[in-house]
Structure 1
Amino acid sequence: MSLNATPETALTIHELITEAASRYQQRPALFDGKNQFTFAELDKLSARVAKHFLKLGLKKGDVIAVQLPNTWEFVIAHLAAARAGLVFNPLSPNYRKNELSYMLGHCETKALITTNQLKGFRHDALAAELKESLPALEHTIITGASEETDHINFYSFMKEDPVGIAEEDMEQNLPSMDDPAVIMFTSGTESNPKAVLHTFQTFVPAHLMNGKEYKVTEEDTILSVTPLCHMFSLPMIIIGMKYGAKQYLYRDYQVDTVIDVLKRDSISFFIAAPAHLIDMIHHLRTIDRADVKMRLILTGGTKIPAQMVKDLRELLDCSVGAQWGMTEVCAGTFTRPDDNPSYAWETVGKATPAGEVIIVNDQYEQVPRGETGEIAFKGECLFKEYYKNEAATKEAFSESGYFLTGDQGWLDEKGYLHFVGRTKDTINRGGLKYHASEVEEALNMHPNIQQSAVVSVPDPRLGERGCAYVSLRENKSFDLEEMKQYLLEKGFAKYKVPEFLEVRESLPATPSGKISKGPLRKEAAHLQPSK
Structure 2
Amino acid sequence: MPLENPHASEGVPADFWVRWPAEEAARYRKAGYWRGETFGDQLDRWAARFGRRTALVDGGSRWSYAELNAGAERLATGLRELGLRRGQRVVVQLPNCAEFVIVWFALLRLGVVPVHALPGHRRNEITHLATLAEATAYFFPDQHDRFDYRELAEEVATACPGLKHLVVLGDPQDRAGFTSLNGLMATPADPDGNRADPPAADDIALLLLSGGTTGTPKLIPRTHDDYAYNARQCATVARMDADSVYLAVLPIAFNYTMSCPGLLGTLQVGGTVVMASNPYPRTAFRLIERERVTITSLNPTLVPHWLAELDRGPADLSSLRVLQVGSARLADDVAATVVERLDCTLQQVFGMSEGLICLTRLDDPVELLSTTQGVPVSDDDEILIVDGGGRPVPDGQVGELLTRGPYTLRGYYRAPEQNRTSFTEDGFYRTGDQVRRLPSGHLTVIGRVKDQINRGGVKIDATEVEGHLLAHPEIVSAALVPEADGKLGERSVAFLVVSGEQPSVKTIGAFLRGRGLAPYKAPDRVEIVAQMPLTAVGKIDKKALAATYIGRRP
TM-score category by the smaller chain?
Answer: 0.7 to 0.9
Conserved 8 A contact 2:411-2:423: no
Question: For 1:232-261, what per-residue CA distance to the aligned partner results, in whole angstroms no more than 9, with x for missing partners?
Answer: 111122212110110000111222222121
> How far 1:314 sits from its partner (Å)?
3.4
**Is the aligned partner of 1:75 residue 2:101?**
yes
Question: Where in structure 2 are the equivalents of 1:422-437 lying within 5 Å?
Answer: 422-424=448-450
Conserved 8 A contact 2:433-2:447: yes
> How far 1:466 sits from its partner (Å)?
7.9
**Is the aligned partner of 1:181 residue 2:205?**
yes
Question: For 1:10-32, what per-residue CA distance to the aligned partner results, in whole angstroms no more than 9, with x for missing partners?
Answer: 53211210111011100100002
Secondary structure of 1:386's match?
coil
Aligned equivalent of 2:188: 161
Question: Where in structure 2 are the equivalents of 1:461-500 lying within 5 Å?
Answer: 465=479, 496=541, 497-498=544-545
Aligned equivalent of 1:113: 139
> How far 1:425 sits from its partner (Å)?
5.6
**Is the aligned partner of 1:392 residue 2:418?**
yes
Unaligned 5+ runs, structure 2: 1-25, 453-461, 486-494, 496-528
Question: Where in structure 2 are the equivalents of 1:340-359 lying within 5 Å?
Answer: 340-353=365-378, 354-359=380-385
Question: For 1:414-462, what per-residue CA distance to the aligned partner results, in whole angstroms no more than 9, with x for missing partners?
Answer: 1111110012469xxxxxxxxxxxxxxxxxxxxxxxxxxxx99947377
Aligned equivalent of 1:204: 228
**Is the aligned partner of 1:292 residue 2:318?**
yes
**Is the aligned partner of 1:149 residue 2:176?**
yes
Q: Alignment length, in residue pairs?
A: 459
For residues 75 and 115 of structure 1, the distance between their equivalents in structure 2, rounded to whole angstroms, comes to 14
Aligned equivalent of 1:336: 361
Identity within the alignment, %:
23
Conserved 8 A contact 1:128-1:150: no
> How far 1:39 sits from its partner (Å)?
0.3
Relative to the length of structure 2, the TM-score reads 0.77
> How far 1:400 sits from its partner (Å)?
2.9
Aligned equivalent of 2:515: none
Secondary structure of 1:31's match?
strand
Amino acid at match of 2:365: N
Aligned equivalent of 1:248: 274
Aligned equivalent of 1:140: 166
Conserved 8 A contact 1:348-1:419: yes
For residues 310 and 537 of structure 2, the distance between their equivalents in structure 1, rounded to whole angstroms, comes to 35
Unaligned 5+ runs, structure 1: 427-454, 472-479, 506-526
> How far 1:268 sits from its partner (Å)?
0.4
Q: Choose which of 30, 50, 64 in structure 1 pairs with 2:56.
A: 30
Aligned equivalent of 2:252: 228
Structure 1 residues 187 and 17 mapped into 2: Cα distance closer, same or farther (>3 Å)?
A: closer
Aligned equivalent of 1:508: none
Secondary structure of 1:368's match?
coil
Supply the RMSD in Å over aligned alpha carbons. Answer: 3.0
Conserved 8 A contact 2:90-2:136: yes
For residues 68 and 335 of structure 1, the distance between their equivalents in structure 2, rounded to whole angstroms, comes to 31
> How far 1:202 sits from its partner (Å)?
2.2
Q: Choose which of 29, 46, 70 in structure 2 pairs with 1:44.
A: 70
Amino acid at match of 1:152: T
Aligned equivalent of 1:503: 551
Structure 1 residues 191 and 310 mapped into 2: Cα distance closer, same or farther (>3 Å)?
A: closer
> How far 1:100 sits from its partner (Å)?
1.1
Relative to the length of structure 1, the TM-score reads 0.80
> How far 1:107 sits from its partner (Å)?
0.6
Amino acid at match of 2:281: V
Aligned equivalent of 2:499: none
> How far 1:384 sits from its partner (Å)?
3.8
Structure 1 residues 167 and 73 mapped into 2: Cα distance closer, same or farther (>3 Å)?
A: closer
Secondary structure of 1:263's match?
helix
For residues 498 and 190 of structure 1, the distance between their equivalents in structure 2, rounded to whole angstroms, comes to 12
For residues 174 and 463 of structure 1, the distance between their equivalents in structure 2, rounded to whole angstroms, comes to 47
Conserved 8 A contact 2:332-2:370: yes
Conserved 8 A contact 1:11-1:205: no
**Is the aligned partner of 1:14 residue 2:40?**
yes
Conserved 8 A contact 1:470-1:504: no
Conserved 8 A contact 1:13-1:238: no
For residues 356 and 7 of structure 1, the distance between their equivalents in structure 2, rounded to whole angstroms, comes to 15
For residues 236 and 151 of structure 2, the distance between their equivalents in structure 1, rounded to whole angstroms, comes to 43
Which has the larger displacement, 169-178 or 8-17? Answer: 8-17
> How far 1:346 sits from its partner (Å)?
1.3
